[in-house]
């Protein structure tokens, strides 16, 4: 092979250096913003959780005017410096507004979104949902890698409680049960109308809400379908708590039925609502429950499933995919595709399966006997 001249060598070296320089520049331009956002995602969640738990949004809502960090810290019994950092982060998250006086002092107030969804007194509040996410779900997610290795929920590691009986673990104390029921209540306060109006339910005069929990969906059904009567079916201690805290006023068209829907007879009804029920369970247990519903359902009746549906090509939605991981760390179940639920329903005997996507958190499937 002939040797290169000094000039040729110089050119070749220069070309390589320029090429390398271009590559380095291109690599430098590839800034991993999305990955950094993902890495910091837990910080965002915990900032929101902490602000809610400490009463930041509630105190600002109660105040007749914006407050400084020092005033807010004094009112809540917090560190002034730490409070200022928290408030600043909440401004960055667009949860708080600021205004500055001529002396340069910063004052804070709630955004409209925070007033509507983060104050406990708001009828559309997510306060209790956030509390549950912070104090229960977040702790289970600490063991996500273990859940993926083992393929089972992580209640025993997170709380030292055997999860063989799923709802014994979920309702491990009266306080935890009330927190869970508040979570469900807050979710249906913002999502309930979309799922209950996805199909015309007026032909179904007797509706049974299986696992009806706080009764939020039952009350909504009554307001939308005044000719119907509602049965709330749930475990005895859930029914007792629901009557005490959530459906305390007697209602002639709401009745209660205590029982375990796997072990006890179901009350006959024209329509059974299973809202966020099947995602707790395996396919086998889901078919077992749906078969029982089919057998209890009146002729021409049906079942309404309310779940977060995954896309058929596994491309999303991201919320549903994350919820499915949450089902892994918390339950025996998973989120599913519409075709999966159709298969479960037809295996149990139902036909005329209709799927309605709301474009929000939860979708709806109606099937008939």
CB 366 within 8 A of CB 348: no
Both tokens of 126, joined, read: 């997510």
> Among the options 142, 251, 279, 356, which is catalytic?
279
* DSSP, res 2: P
Helices 283-296 & 338-348, crossing angle to 10 degrees? 50
Mark whether 128 is an active-site residue: no
Question: What's the count of helices (H) and strands (E) in the chain, helices before strands?
Answer: 18, 10
Using CA atoms, how far apart are residues 81 and 112, in angstroms rounded to an integer? 26
d(CA 345, CA 369): 10
Sign of the torsion angle spanned by Cα atoms 313, 314, 320, 323 = positive
Token output for 42 = 């837990």
What SS3 state is found at 65? Answer: coil
Task: Give the whole-angstrom CA distance, residue 273 versus residue 128.
Answer: 23
Structure tokens at 114: 């925070």
Place of tokens 């006890």: 264
CA 300 to chain centre: 33
Give the DSSP per-residue string, 242-299: HHHHTS-S--TTEEEEES-TTTSPPPPEEEEEEES-GGGS-HHHHHHHHHHHHHHEEE
Catalytic residues: 279
């Amino acid at each position: 092979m002939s040797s290169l001249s000094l000039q040729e060598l110089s050119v070749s070296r220069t070309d390589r250096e320029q090429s390398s320089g271009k590559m380095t520049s291109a690599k430098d331009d590839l800034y991993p913003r999305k990955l950094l956002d993902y890495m910091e995602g837990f910080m965002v969640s915990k900032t929101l959780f902490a602000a809610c738990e400490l009463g930041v949004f509630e105190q600002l809502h109660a105040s007749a005017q914006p407050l400084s960090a020092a005033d807010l810290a004094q009112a809540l019994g917090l560190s002034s410096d730490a409070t200022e950092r928290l408030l600043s982060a909440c401004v960055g998250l667009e949860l708080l507004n600021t205004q500055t006086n001529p002396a340069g002092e910063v004052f804070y107030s709630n955004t409209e979104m925070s007033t509507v969804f983060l104050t406990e007194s708001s009828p559309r509040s997510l306060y209790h949902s956030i509390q549950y996410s912070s104090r229960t779900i977040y702790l289970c997610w600490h063991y996500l890698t273990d859940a993926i290795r083992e393929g089972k929920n992580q209640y025993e590691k997170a709380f030292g409680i055997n999860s063989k009986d799923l709802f014994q673990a979920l309702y491990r104390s009266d306080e935890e049960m009330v927190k869970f029921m508040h979570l469900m209540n807050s979710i249906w306060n913002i999502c309930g109308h979309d799922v209950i109006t996805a199909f015309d339910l007026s032909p179904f005069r007797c509706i049974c809400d299986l696992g009806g929990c706080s009764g939020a969906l039952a009350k909504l059904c009554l307001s939308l379908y005044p000719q119907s009567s509602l049965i709330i079916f749930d475990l005895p201690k859930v029914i007792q708590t629901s009557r005490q805290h959530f459906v305390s006023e007697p209602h002639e068209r709401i009745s209660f039925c205590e029982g375990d829907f796997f072990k006890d007879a179901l009350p006959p009804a024209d329509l059974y609502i299973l809202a966020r029920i099947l995602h707790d369970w395996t396919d086998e247990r889901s078919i077992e429950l749906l078969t029982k519903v089919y057998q209890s359902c009146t002729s021409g009746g049906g079942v309404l499933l309310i779940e977060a549906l995954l896309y058929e090509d596994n491309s999303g939605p991201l919320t549903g995919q994350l919820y499915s991981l949450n089902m892994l760390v918390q339950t025996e179940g998973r989120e599913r595709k519409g075709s999966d639920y159709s298969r479960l329903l037809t295996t149990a005997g139902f036909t005329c399966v209709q799927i309605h996507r709301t474009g929000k958190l939860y979708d709806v499937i109606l099937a008939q006997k």
